Amino acid sequence: MKLVAILLDGLNYSAWLFLVAVGLTLIYGVMRILNIAHGAFYAIGAYVCASALGLYYSAGLPEAGAFLMMGLSALVAGFVVGLLIERVVLRKLYGQDEVIMVLVTYALFLILSDAVKLTWGVESYYVFQPYAYFGYIEFGNLPYQVYDLLVVGLAIVAGIGLWYWLNRTRTGILMTAVVADREVAAAMGVNVTRIFALTFAIGTVLAAVAGAATAPKIAVTPGIGVEVIILAFAVVVIGGLGSIPGAVVGAIFAGYARAICVHVAPQFELFAIYAVMAVVLAIRPHGLFARAEGRKI
């Protein structure tokens, strides 16, 4: 029974971690920016979703349409905020050292966190209706929320969609060309600036979608982005910064590490994820799925 619980919890948690982390790894992979503000985008997604759902329900519209509302709000919020930040701040700083860019996004994280507080106040928002809507099914006598299953589905769709887009569409392939060599891509006429803006916006949308999908399960309250970003870091660092398959593996590692701990040794729950990260880094300094880059003299 415990095993089934671990398997299901691990699955849920892995899917959630993947959703939270995949945008981060996409942005790093293409733009070489380790984006701490990702946590703030997640929070914004959750808040916008909560507000949108609040309006929707108070208008007395059919309950099933709420899911459309969730998706739409996350998409719009992520896209608008992402494009805005990229245009106003990041674009002026491209080409800086990677470590500097971490500090820039840290500053953005601080600013956006307070912007959220100023916009939505410090009270909590609760929008549990979508979570309760589908009820639960039972595995043995373990209740399993159907909503969680949908999140797993969403993670799979997001992963496959991203893979398809990067490998099978023109824009996606151009994007991989930018990853391989920025100068050559620019010389070949690829509009690197546009690709960057698009990448950042998509990464932001992914963070907002993760936030929106999580909103019905939690109290949406200041500070929800703070822990998320650190978990997302752990996931992408385990898998290898910038690698989408790496994010899948990282999410599964971290998700199951946590699930096992929750059921076997709950005092090590949080510790487990960071410990996995530290061990992976100690053995493979650049993560499981990334290649080390040598320096030429």
Q: How many CA atoms lie within 13 A of 151 on its CB side?
A: 29
Beta carbons of 259 and 13 less than 8 angstroms apart:
yes
Burial of 45 (0-12, 13-18, 19+ CB in 10 A): buried
The answer to whether 108 contacts another protein (rule: CB under 8 A) is yes
The answer to whether 115 contacts another protein (rule: CB under 8 A) is yes
The kind and range of the H/E element at 3 are helix 2-31
Helices (H), 169-223: 170-180, 182-187, 192-214
Beta carbons of 251 and 14 less than 8 angstroms apart:
yes
Q: Who contacts 277 (Cβ-Cβ below 8 Å, separation ≥6)?
A: 233, 234, 237, 238, 254
Q: Compare residues 233 and 256 and give the one whose CB is closer to another protein.
A: 233
The answer to whether 118 contacts another protein (rule: CB under 8 A) is yes
Question: Looking only at residues 136 through 165 of this chain, which bind another protein when binding is defined by CB under 8 A?
Answer: none
List 7, 61, 68, 93, residue binding another protein (CB under 8 A): 93
The answer to whether 266 contacts another protein (rule: CB under 8 A) is yes
List 7, 55, 132, 278, residue binding another protein (CB under 8 A): 278
The answer to whether 88 contacts another protein (rule: CB under 8 A) is no
Taking residues 13 to 42 in sequence order and writing x for each that binds another protein by CB under 8 A, - otherwise, the string is: ---------------------x--------
Q: Give the residues lining the site for another protein (CB under 8 A).
A: 34, 89, 92-93, 96-100, 102-104, 106-115, 117-118, 122, 226, 230, 233-234, 237, 241, 266-275, 277-278, 281-282, 285-286, 295, 297
